[in-house]
Amino acid sequence: MKITIKYFSWVRVKIQKSHELFEFSDEMTFLNLKNELINKNSFFDEIFKDRSIKFFLNLKEITDENISLNDGDEIALLPPVTGG
């Protein structure tokens, strides 16, 4: 199962890439994904503890961390917006 993660604003600057493709063999929820990412890179620990960052799955805000992920899903990590 391939999941794309998109990074924006200071998260993108800090991780030095705009997106990343992860492959997982098992079925998983967003909660599982968070734990996998924290294991891969301690940077994600900071991200997931930051209450100001919002998470979107295929352009919809994630409100339940137990949501199942599917092959081809796009997850985005959004710091507080500053347009306008």
Partner 1 sequence: MIKITKEDFNLEEEFKKIHSKKNGAYSFFLGTVRQDIDDNINGIFLECYEDLACNQLNKIKKDSTQKWNLSDCTIIHRIGDLKISEKIVLVITAAPHRSDCIEACEYIIDTLKANVALWKFHIKGKEKEPVNQKKKDLDKYLSWSQVIS
Supply 28's token pair: 């998983």
Our finding on whether 79 is near partner 1 (CB under 8 A) is yes
Q: Which of 1, 12, 29, 32 binds partner 1 (CB under 8 A)?
A: 12
Altogether, the residues listed in the chain come to a count of 84
CB 62 within 8 A of CB 34: no
Residues in 42-71 that interact with partner 1 by CB under 8 A: 52, 56, 59
Task: Quote the least distance from Cβ 58 to partner 1, whole Å.
Answer: 9
- Our CB check for partner 1 shows the closer of 25 and 81 to be 81
How far apart are the C-alpha atoms of 52 and 67, rounded to whole Å?
Answer: 20
